[in-house]
Structure 1
Amino acid sequence: MAKSLRTGLSSLTMTSLSEANSKFGFRLFRELKQNTEDNLIISPLSISTVMAMVLFGAREKTAFQIQKALHLDEVTEGGKPSSGSTAKAACGTPGEVHSQFRSLLEEINKPNDDYSLVIANRLYGSQTFEFLQSYLDGVKDIYQAGLETMDFLHASEESREKINSWVENQTNGKIKNLFSSGSINPATVLALANAIYFKGKWAMKFKPENTQERNFRTNKDISRPVQMMKQSGFFNIGNIEETQGKILELPYTNKHLSMFVLLPTDNDGLEKLEQDLTFEKLLELMNPENMACKEVHLRFPRFRVEETYSLRSTMEAMGMTDIFDEESANFSGMTTHKGLAVSKVMHKSFVEVNEEGTEAAAATGVVVGYNSSRREIFNCDHPFLFVIRHNRTNSILFYGRVAAPW
């Protein structure tokens, strides 16, 4: 593989790709929230990675649509537009975007004693279909995604179970049945799977004996009992536009990763917060320069969120239309055969938070000083947003909404 794919990634380019992935995730979240007021959880990095593997085999307009929807056309190198500014240059060739993906995934997958974080990719191809060796070599080299041949034609259900078993194993048993019955059939040619798993411990754990049953107000009129954790300590905290709410950083051990919690002031203020929040505002809020370390009296619920999404219609709404149309799709970087199109894009995410820390899966600090003697109250007894970020790369691993903890 080209030497450029093995070069290290500067902090600027890593930030550029991470920002593109996060911007895509923020936009995807906004699309999905239009259809639900319930809990919502996605892993932007998981979805971006699997779609980048599709991009590697796409050409011309098909590639351009994927690149634009993923915001990869905005990725820069050294402050200049990357060679990926044109679909022809970046898509399906060993270009800068794919090089940066490789370096980003290598950085995130580095072994660490403080937490478990693994991102894994796998291709499952029909044994009767011929893929270009250049495509197979490229995705294996860049995305560490080996190809396993499957008998989709005669054993589609057994193939589905095998793929689901791999995903379940990679996510420590948290993501089960990613591909539902019937989603893999005799017409399946290629299934791409990505799994991300994270388990981290809080830098400051909650004491279980302080956890109490308290009411969580899901809206103005309805509340439900939850197990509410409690602690007082020094945390980075900031204001969201004076009256709209507050943002709190909950770091994991040694601050390699953090959870940011965005809590509206009003019990029913989440909709307005989501409506007014832009991607640029979110980055600004999470910037440590815009937060202060203060003593905080914190109440935070135990919660578990698990959601499954079929993303085809959402991807189409974001401009990725050709990949689903066998007449329009151009995957000539993947195969010489025509008529190949994507039929499904499935995403399943899981996050569980307790006194010890967070366990999360999906098929992503400096103390600035004390500036207040007054203790802040941060009481998460009504719906809130949260972000789990890999701090070294600024990658958003998970982005979610908790409307009703369970």
Structure 2
Amino acid sequence: MPFIGFGHKDQIVPKKDIGIFYYQNTLLDSPESGSWKCIHSCALFVTAVHCTYTFPNYKRTTFGDSIDVASMKLLKEIYEQSVDKNVISSPLGVLILLALYASGSEGKTRDEIMALLGSTDYEQFPGSYSQLSERFASMDPNYLILANKVLVSDKYTLDEGFLNTAKTYKSEVDNINFNDRKMAADVINNWSSKKTKGLIDQPVSESDIDPAAAIALLNVIFFQGHWHVPFNASKTKEQDFNVDRSTIVKKPMMHLRQSLYYREDKEMGVKMIDLPYKESKFRMVVVLPNEVDGLPDVLDKAAEKGLLENIFRMHPTTGSVILDMPKFETRTKINLNDVLSKVGVTGIFKNASSGIVKELGVMVSKALQEAYVKVDEEGATAGAFTGVVATPLSSWSRPPPSIPFKVDRPFLYVILNDDIVLFAGTYTH
């Protein structure tokens, strides 16, 4: 079973993602069944020279916390298993598909999925990801597209309960002939290209198609955001970037002087800033290790407790942040079989799930993802924040000291909507 995902497009941090799962036919000879769900897929506080702009009222939820921790676990394993340490992923796409798959599974397989999703009781859980799918699917497609699709072999029939669940996830449902590998690949690629506006147009090849597949679950998340306060391209300059303690390279560094949400955390060993997008409640959070070689340790700690605790403790600086940050573009193709096994989800690859198609049990044979992100200076003209509160500064007062934030070493970043992590990545060279 293959799964594939992407992220990308346009302006400062466009992203998109597509996920696909294929399920191989298996006899119902296993007492356990599994379920799979996958999800793929930012903010900024600005202080002008004479006024202060307030952030949207971000809301932190238990559901957001569970996505946060699961996302960091997945990112840590993807980073460790990737040869190129510049990685981008859409953990949400993986989690959505896992949640959907869990609806047709039971026993240990479902328990493993639920453990990653951060819940012990499936009966209390099903609405969370379906409601999230509905919420994101209703947003303006000019900046966010989240779409799910179920392709079932023309040899089989979807279980009625699974079909009803898929519909609550706003999933399209179609039949397909997996024996015609070229046609099946074309169907998937055309769907991905349409949903991602041509940015991810070849997520699968014929060799990715399993003729014995009974079903494929697909997910696409696409985000194109515009900085609330864009960088001035004329101020982008080549500067030193420390790949490690002995290697320095030149990178085009964007420059911004602005009041931002900021936090230092000595326990995690990081500094953090919050960069908002013009699109409501979207933001990028940059997590900069204090040490040049500190990223692996930061990922370990993030995988244990997530990032939201620190994100929701960020506060606006009284003075300006002097930000220097590299432009970058990253595309990552990920084999998720090993990644999921490392985070405790193994049953989907070994045990038959009987609640997905009527005729027989199925299991995942392959899980893949492709994601893309681009970060540069571009963006809409800066505009007023909704609910702006302006606080004039006295012309007689001494301006508060500035805070340097030079992103000149390997770092971690996430893109969120409110408290939901859509994309997570690392940049190292």
Structure 2 Cα separation of the partners of residues 117 and 237 of structure 1: 26
Distance 1:323 1:280, change over 3 A: closer
Structure 1 Cα separation of the partners of residues 319 and 138 of structure 2: 32
Match for 2:229 among 204, 211, 219? 204
Residue 62 (structure 2) aligns with: 16
Structure 2 Cα separation of the partners of residues 35 and 135 of structure 1: 33
Q: Note the C-alpha offset of 1:12.
A: 12
Structure 1 Cα separation of the partners of residues 300 and 278 of structure 2: 33
Structure 2 Cα separation of the partners of residues 341 and 188 of structure 1: 10
TM-score, normalising length from structure 2? 0.77
Match for 2:246 among 213, 221, 227? 221
Distance 1:160 1:112, change over 3 A: closer
Residue 6 (structure 1) aligns with: none
Q: Note the C-alpha offset of 1:263.
A: 1.0
Structure 2 Cα separation of the partners of residues 379 and 320 of structure 1: 38
More deviation in 233-242 or 290-299?
290-299
1:25 lines up with 2:45 in the alignment: no
Q: Note the C-alpha offset of 1:246.
A: 1.1
Structure 1 Cα separation of the partners of residues 228 and 305 of structure 2: 27
Q: Note the C-alpha offset of 1:309.
A: 0.7
Structure 1 Cα separation of the partners of residues 268 and 147 of structure 2: 42
For the aligned residue pairs, the C-alpha RMSD in angstroms reads 2.9
Q: Note the C-alpha offset of 1:291.
A: 5.7
| Correspondence 1:284-303 to 2 at 5 A | 284-288=309-313, 292-303=317-328
- Unpaired segments ≥5 residues, structure 1: 1-10, 74-84, 91-95, 359-364
Q: Note the C-alpha offset of 1:97.
A: 2.2
Spell out, residue by residue over 1:251-303, the C-alpha distance to the aligned partner (whole angstroms, 9 max, x if none).
11165111111112333332333334455362221014556454111111111
Structure 1 Cα separation of the partners of residues 372 and 263 of structure 2: 27
Q: Secondary structure at the match of 1:273?
A: helix
Spell out, residue by residue over 1:315-346, the C-alpha distance to the aligned partner (whole angstroms, 9 max, x if none).
12322222212xx32x2221233342111111
**Cα contact 2:137–2:145 (8 A) shared by 1:** yes
Residue 97 (structure 1) aligns with: 125
Structure 1 Cα separation of the partners of residues 90 and 268 of structure 2: 29
Residue 155 (structure 2) aligns with: 128
| Correspondence 1:246-285 to 2 at 5 A | 246-253=271-278, 256-280=281-305, 282-285=307-310
Q: Secondary structure at the match of 1:189?
A: strand
Q: Which has the higher contact order (CA 8 A, sep 6+)?
A: 2
Structure 2 Cα separation of the partners of residues 323 and 62 of structure 1: 6
Structure 1 Cα separation of the partners of residues 389 and 70 of structure 2: 30
Match for 2:165 among 124, 138, 143? 138
| Correspondence 1:130-209 to 2 at 5 A | 130-140=157-167, 142-153=168-179, 155-209=180-234
Structure 1 Cα separation of the partners of residues 399 and 94 of structure 2: 41
Spell out, residue by residue over 1:10-47, the C-alpha distance to the aligned partner (whole angstroms, 9 max, x if none).
x9998222222222111112222222461122112111
Higher helix share: 1
Distance 1:293 1:172, change over 3 A: farther
Distance 1:168 1:259, change over 3 A: same
Q: Note the C-alpha offset of 1:122.
A: 0.3
**Cα contact 2:271–2:287 (8 A) shared by 1:** yes
Residue 107 (structure 1) aligns with: 135
Match for 2:87 among 18, 36, 40? 40
Match for 1:382 among 397, 409, 419? 409
Residue 96 (structure 2) aligns with: 49
Structure 2 Cα separation of the partners of residues 181 and 335 of structure 1: 24
Q: Secondary structure at the match of 2:145?
A: strand
**Count of paired positions:** 361
Residue 35 (structure 2) aligns with: none
**Cα contact 2:69–2:307 (8 A) shared by 1:** no
Q: Secondary structure at the match of 1:319?
A: coil
Distance 1:109 1:130, change over 3 A: closer
TM-score, normalising length from structure 1? 0.81
Distance 1:106 1:174, change over 3 A: same
Structure 2 Cα separation of the partners of residues 368 and 26 of structure 1: 36
- Unpaired segments ≥5 residues, structure 2: 1-56, 381-386
Give the partner amino acid of 2:90: S
Q: Secondary structure at the match of 2:155?
A: coil
Q: Note the C-alpha offset of 1:241.
A: 0.7
Q: Note the C-alpha offset of 1:304.
A: 0.7
Give the partner amino acid of 1:241: K
More deviation in 25-34 or 226-235?
25-34
Distance 1:287 1:150, change over 3 A: same
**Cα contact 1:43–1:399 (8 A) shared by 2:** yes
Residue 346 (structure 1) aligns with: 368
More deviation in 286-295 or 191-200?
286-295
Distance 1:293 1:273, change over 3 A: farther
Match for 1:324 among 344, 349, 353? 349
**Cα contact 1:385–1:402 (8 A) shared by 2:** yes
Q: Note the C-alpha offset of 1:134.
A: 2.9
